[in-house]
Structure 1
């Protein structure tokens, strides 16, 4: 969308929104003084380090460094871009947004999307109501037989499409929805006699939501025990390509899995709707599924917004190998586009090796969720899976077959971005398996253009830079006394500026000797000094790292709590240290001046030193 949301609307919406309520959807928050604390939704932790200031409208995690306002929270936890975050918050609060620079066609498209989402939501409600009614017993029976109950039906908004040709179409048209819209979004088809026929009939319905939770399409499964007449319907049936539903980008369960993905940094990609339900039921809440298509580049682009590790569930048969080959190629193509971030953490694609005909849900049902978690931890990089596959499919009974397998395996090895793994696998996966020396593998690699040396850096392969990696927002892990004092003074300046004594205004940037403390002071000064709104200080910060530092200090909880008296003492102590440093500097200069040849300079330096000493003694008296 080329049009921009009006800045006034963005600010007004943020002021209206309750950041604590938004964040509470993703983690439990408890009162901690004037702030709220909880477990961080962005990383796994046992002790709460995630702090929310509902008055200032900001959050900060003192464990991983993530922080920001309500928009950055929605972007981080939901993998949304800024516009999507604003629009999602507007829908949540019922706020009407206005757009600038929209062409007439773009305005129609914007209204069209909202209209299509509304129709899909109404269809979702219709299907869900039918599932819970008497006529939905056939679908509920199927769910019970698969081990699912009311909880899963509610969590995933499951539904039932009556075994009727036009029940949904009649209901939606009677409510005033345009017949043409029903066809465009795949809920109905034109029966060529001027009427409509429901696309989904006699099926268990799986609503497909986008990352922000909007319904964009549906999947349906036929049900045992229903009479479909002479028609032999396919077992599964999905929405067609529509303005909302693009199967190359759609992932079932992504809205329901956002919190699980954010907390683990990992996602398990399955094949079926019920696989996702079974895994979530067992506590594996970071599982999604493709909707009737192989995982591809667009899927990886979506997932890279949430996680840095994708685990694919593939059989170790030929079909599974081909799927893994395609996935590796698609992910490598996306890598070229995404390797522009500052983080060195790479996007890993791994394979969960399964017995033929088995899936992750089978593993959970047979051995329990702990076994699946252990299997996920042990999932191997896709390159290693493919190296093994090259050797598994080769004829190793002949010298010619082993030579061919060696060359094929080494070429696969060249796709691994980690040089250490390449070196290890050259021995463990190839040399040991083929009964040749590691040196022979290395020579073969050289002949086919693959480098195994650790100095090689990063080879072409699967590697996406994850957005927002690393830890930010800390002055220092174990601050020296000077840095700790400077942090405490800056905390008062950001949190309780009315407590600052007059000596605060005598401090300069040079008095904040720790680089990160200096960067916070510079941002505060650029914004206009202590007492300006935190929003203005953040706007004056030069980059995201400094903004994270400012938020961390602004939301830090003092232990013991700051008081007006302690605040004044801290500022005066910092000012005294600055004066001591200045006196020491003057002493050095006095020693370089000859009192006989340059008496004026000598007197000026001593007069300045005397004045600074007087100020220092006055500060000491005030502190005592």
Structure 2
């Protein structure tokens, strides 16, 4: 295959970048027990952390959705890129020059599309930044200065300027070796009326939009001149590397502080992010030309480690107008668990954070963020404000609208608290009347939902024939026998030195659970634990020996799952499971021999009976020694 990266270079890239450092760009990781780290899975929506990373083995596994693999696999899945692109990206980060089987050192024409597009954006961002110092860009510098941003601030955020000509950037990128297709696919230029490429951004201030790892994936450009007939803000279109619903401006600068402080601040624009960061609110991010949506919630939850055991907070600074309120309340609809930890900071007089900083200084911005209103309370007050509560009719209408909001709150304890608050907002002295009304509405809603889930009998009288599914073996972690198999295999993969050489003497039949039998076979084919104890990463060898992805994923799962010992795994703990598994095998064989004796009966030849009885006696004696002497009897 042309352009194949050399195996030794791929391994060098794996070794150069620890998996926890790579995953940490996307997921906030915490201690997961033993040598593992855990976090909220980036591949599916979950309420508790089931995503584990084993830095020592260089692998990850999610016990919720089953995704697993190594560092390269993680990048491929989360960035939707090819194997070569993932390796090239990691190599660039690690400063490693890749060699290809057919063509020397990292030829550009062999690089993956994503890598080339990222490189083009990096070059473009640097060029835009240089243009900000040109005489033509004086209008842009003045725009920044009028909003309180000096040269240092512009440099910190990478703000640049796109000249007003038609193809300045296009010519520059061509000169740097990028093809027209790469420039066009990356959204840096578009097709002109005469057929040639023209710059997408012209005569505008330009902000680079980076992903959480710091790579430039797109740009946002602000109109500066009155004769510019385009939109006020123009963003990069959807491209292979830029999905506006999956990026947050400033996430590269804010992610570590978000994880550290447990708070994320969501503002509306690029200058608001700049103002917040310069004022000391370094957890601020903004959407890029789109409303705050479900994918944005997932990004923030991963950074906040937003689970049942970690209570992070998100603060919106949308202004108090109808559009701002609608945007803020959308989080209420998307994810109530997220919404319950969300607050709204209402800017005074409709000012955004940038305007507030300019008018009242950094302290005012910090104070705004420090005193937000809980989202549910904001929703209620917004509903009540739409009615004249000084009249009976207005109070009744406000009660009905606000009650509908409270009823949608799934946590009943919070529901009750807000029912009491609503009574106070409306000036209704009989709090219990409001509480009863909301309880009644909630009950009706539950009944309607339950009725809606009942099957239609008319449609179920003659069900369509269903082809039976093929039987599949399902692991049961609560099965004591399976638990012993699983724990011993985990020890063999994670700590081969603790179970070697005894483990290698165990046959595949001593692991009767089919998936575990396959793992035991892969361990043997990889050289066994005696060989693995001398390797820096035995797991990689075992994964290479697996016959298919199903077994390979189970190996990864066992590698990242914490050992169940309350103390550090040692030879005593390993010995307990070596003995337990051998005892299970002996007990199964005892049961088989007894059944054989019963089938033979008393009429069988004496020689045959004696042989079977001797085997039974030897097995019983061995079982007794295992129970009394432990690992010494192995």
Q: Does the TM-score normalized on the shorter chain lie above 0.5?
A: yes
Inter-CA distance 621–347: structure 2 relative to 1 (3 Å threshold):
closer
Distance 2:605 2:414 in 1: 71
* Match in the other structure for 1:91: 89
* Match in the other structure for 2:55: 52
Residue segments in structure 2 that go unaligned for 5+ positions in a row: 26-33, 42-51, 93-97, 102-108, 307-312, 454-476, 528-540
Query: How far apart are residue 38 of structure 1 and its match?
Result: 9.8
* Match in the other structure for 2:468: none
Inter-CA distance 583–252: structure 2 relative to 1 (3 Å threshold):
closer
Distance 2:277 2:125 in 1: 21
* Match in the other structure for 1:295: 292
Question: Is the 2:121–2:216 Cα contact (8 Å) retained in structure 1?
Answer: yes
* Match in the other structure for 1:315: 319
Question: Is the 1:27–1:40 Cα contact (8 Å) retained in structure 2?
Answer: no
Is 2:276 the counterpart of 1:276? no
Distance 2:148 2:181 in 1: 37
* Match in the other structure for 1:527: 522
* Match in the other structure for 2:248: 251
Query: How far apart are residue 394 of structure 1 and its match?
Result: 1.4
Is 2:397 the counterpart of 1:395? no
Distance 1:444 1:556 in 2: 49
Is 2:545 the counterpart of 1:548? no
Is 2:135 the counterpart of 1:126? no
Deviations 1:176-233 (A, max 9, x none): 76779868835589598999678433x543112356755443234578xxxx7x8589
Question: Is the 1:252–1:291 Cα contact (8 Å) retained in structure 2?
Answer: yes
Q: Which deviates further from its counterpart, 19-28 or 122-131?
A: 19-28
CA RMSD in angstroms comes to: 6.3
Distance 1:205 1:260 in 2: 25
Distance 1:352 1:488 in 2: 51
Inter-CA distance 579–196: structure 2 relative to 1 (3 Å threshold):
closer
Distance 1:159 1:197 in 2: 15
Query: How far apart are residue 57 of structure 1 and its match?
Result: 3.7
Question: Is the 2:293–2:331 Cα contact (8 Å) retained in structure 1?
Answer: yes
Question: Is the 1:503–1:572 Cα contact (8 Å) retained in structure 2?
Answer: no
Inter-CA distance 603–240: structure 2 relative to 1 (3 Å threshold):
closer
* Match in the other structure for 2:398: 405
Distance 1:444 1:61 in 2: 40
Is 2:507 the counterpart of 1:499? no
Inter-CA distance 59–11: structure 2 relative to 1 (3 Å threshold):
farther
Distance 2:280 2:604 in 1: 81
Distance 1:265 1:182 in 2: 39
Is 2:379 the counterpart of 1:386? yes
User: Counterpart of 2:388 in 1: which secondary structure?
Assistant: coil
Question: Is the 2:266–2:316 Cα contact (8 Å) retained in structure 1?
Answer: yes
1:335-346 aligned within 5 A: none
Question: Is the 2:162–2:202 Cα contact (8 Å) retained in structure 1?
Answer: yes
Query: How far apart are residue 395 of structure 1 and its match?
Result: 0.8
Distance 1:587 1:260 in 2: 65
Query: How far apart are residue 396 of structure 1 and its match?
Result: 0.8
Question: Is the 2:61–2:68 Cα contact (8 Å) retained in structure 1?
Answer: yes
Deviations 1:521-540 (A, max 9, x none): 44523536474633146957
Distance 1:598 1:112 in 2: 75
* Match in the other structure for 1:353: 345
Distance 1:193 1:589 in 2: 85
- Tell me the number of residue pairs that the alignment of Structure 1 and Structure 2 aligns: 544
Distance 1:146 1:239 in 2: 23
Question: Is the 1:238–1:291 Cα contact (8 Å) retained in structure 2?
Answer: no
